[in-house]
Amino acid sequence: MVFKSEIRDSTINALLEKAANRNYGQYLAKLSLKHVRGFHNEPVLFDFPVTALIGPNGGGKTTILGAAGCAYKSISPKRFFAKSGKYDETMQDWSIEYELIDRELNKKDAVRRTTSFRNSRWNREAPDRRVLVFGVSRTVPANERPELGRCASNSFEVPEAHVQELTEPVQKAVSRILGKNISGFSSLRVDPKGRVTLLAGRTKDGKGYSEFHFGAGESSIIRMVAEIELVEDQALVLIEEIENGLHPVATVRMVEYLIDAAERKKLQTIFTTHSNDALKPLPSKAIWVATQDRIFQGKLDINSLRAITGQIDAALVIFVEDPFAKLWVEAILRQANNLAVDHIQVYGMEGDGTAVAMNRYHRKDPSSLVPSICLIDGDSEQSESKDDAIYRLPGQSPEAFVFDEVMTAWDSIGGKLAVALLQRFENAERVKQICNSVRTTNMDAHLLFAQVGEKLGLLPEATVAAAFANIWAQAYPEALQRVLISFEEFLPHEQRQD
């Protein structure tokens, strides 16, 4: 099923344009890791006000997050980059360069600043900006937080003046993210200065319960949203592992909330994640991949990260543009003779540029012992290259090509397709009529399989796409061989494995 965000495309496009025009009072437009850990001269552009940082464990996501925070005076570099005596000798001569929008410092152009670590001390000239940091410790349950220990007693009580109901914007946002009504929830000020607070909720029948009985994700979302709604406009929000403690649907809604906050309050948010769901509402320009020594821009499947960094047990890795190209290539490989299919892994990259870049990085990585190739779509603007192992799939749009080829061979394979689409064999004619009708009215080939599935009774798009891909691979053996012959030298065969 095609994901459809509740954030309108017009909102996404307007925010992309706003960032491109640098139409902000304060905004971190770009940072360059000149020399930090394994990174050398690696730039990160913030082309969208909500940025996701993904990558394998140890890949450098938190390094980029911390570097962003160090651009501003309110965040001490030690918050992210503490030095432990002689055991952190590699920190010597670290350097980060920034392009900042700060209209109080420069009304027309970007402000350029540098943060460096030399002679065992940090050096920087950082401007002021409000920065919120939400670390992974935010999901620690209330009964494990020492500052709330005094609240865990039968005699605990605070004056009524110290009880503050959550504001309507907070209630509305949290209710949508968590999918539950939190009207009547409140915050209890535990100490005189309000530095320690305890949340309290109410059941449907009006009975109260404290944060000690909240879920960890529920508590962290309420606290984050409350702070974000309270913070001044143009602030920077940094979040580590945004999906911690959250259901996948709640993760999507949290990212959508941050996009909404970017529109309403001109906030800028940067977060790290291991979740594909967190990437769904974002455009490709909002996603950066950290791989220990290189940083790439573009949307991809989290599962492909091990392949990109060479941490994979396979004989061949194939990078393709998107999920359907992945389905199609896998179907082709299954129908080929004598291939060690279980030793081949195919990854969809959500874009031809990303697929090509990841393949090139993988092939140049000296630590990777597994060869890789890239298969681009027929209409891709990327160039084929035998030297870089970049090859082109037949047709223009893969969805349209496979769909039309299968329908052309309907007389010999129509019944098989109907069954693959979970329909009765004797209903093949009805399936044919539906497919022809969809093809006639379709304006976007990427939606063909979703539209057929809808007319067949809410059949999942993935089921329809897999049926067409597999039937094509069975019906066109000669075309299948023409696809494989271009990169046959890389394909692992059963005899070779034996």
Of the chain, the percentage scoring pLDDT greater than 90 comes to 68
109-112: long-range contacts, CB 8 A cutoff, minimum separation 24? 110/22, 110/29
- Helices and strands counted in the chain (H then E): 15, 19
Instruction: State pLDDT tens for residues 381-430.
Output: 999 999 999 999 999 999 999 999 999 999 999 999 999 999 999 999 99
Instruction: With beta carbons less than 8 A apart as the criterion, state whether 226 and 217 touch.
Output: no
Q: Which tens digit of pLDDT belongs to each residue from 72-90?
A: 999 999 999 988 887 887 8
- Percentage of the chain lying above the pLDDT 70 cut: 96
Q: Residue 496: which pLDDT band, with cuts at 50, 70 and 90?
A: very low
Q: What is the pLDDT of residue 312?
A: 62
Q: For the chain, what is the mean pLDDT? A: 91
The model's pLDDT over 365-389, given as tens digits with 9 standing for 90+, comes to 777 788 999 999 999 999 999 999 9
For residue 259, what is the enclosing H or E element? helix 248-265
Question: Which of residues 258 and 157 earns the better pLDDT score?
Answer: 258
Out of 254-268, 334-348, 364-378, the most confident range is 254-268
3-class DSSP assignment, residue 296: strand
- What would the mean pLDDT of 60-67 be, rounded to a whole number? 94
Structure tokens at 196: 């320690």
Q: Is the pLDDT assigned to residue 5 strictly greater than 50?
A: yes
| 259 has a pLDDT exceeding 70 | yes
Q: Which of 50-59, 139-148, 295-304 has the lowest mean pLDDT?
A: 295-304
Cα separation, 402 vs 495, in Å, equals 31
How much is the pTM?
A: 0.79
The b/e string for 157-170 (b: 16+ C-beta within 10 A; e otherwise) is eeeeebeeebeeeb
Q: Tens of pLDDT along 105-143?
A: 999 999 999 999 988 899 999 999 999 999 998 988 888
**Per-residue pLDDT tens over the stretch 8-50:** 999 999 999 999 999 999 999 999 999 998 899 999 999 999 9
pLDDT score for 3: 65
> Which pLDDT band, with edges at 50, 70 and 90, does 495 fall under?
low
303-324 pLDDT tens trace = 666 666 655 668 899 999 999 9
Provide the pLDDT for residue 309.
61
The model's pLDDT over 431-477, given as tens digits with 9 standing for 90+, comes to: 999 999 999 999 999 999 999 999 998 899 999 999 999 999 999 99
Top pLDDT among 160 and 262 is at: 262
Q: Using 50, 70 and 90 to split pLDDT, how confident is the model at 498?
A: very low
What is the rounded distance in angstroms from the CA atom of residue 208 to the CA atom of residue 242? 28
Which band of pLDDT confidence, cut at 50, 70 and 90, is reported for residue 349? confident
Report CA-CA distances (Å) from 435 to 24, 63, 291, 419. 49, 50, 43, 14
Stretch 180-207: mean pLDDT, rounded? 87
**378-358-346 Cα angle (round to 5):** 65
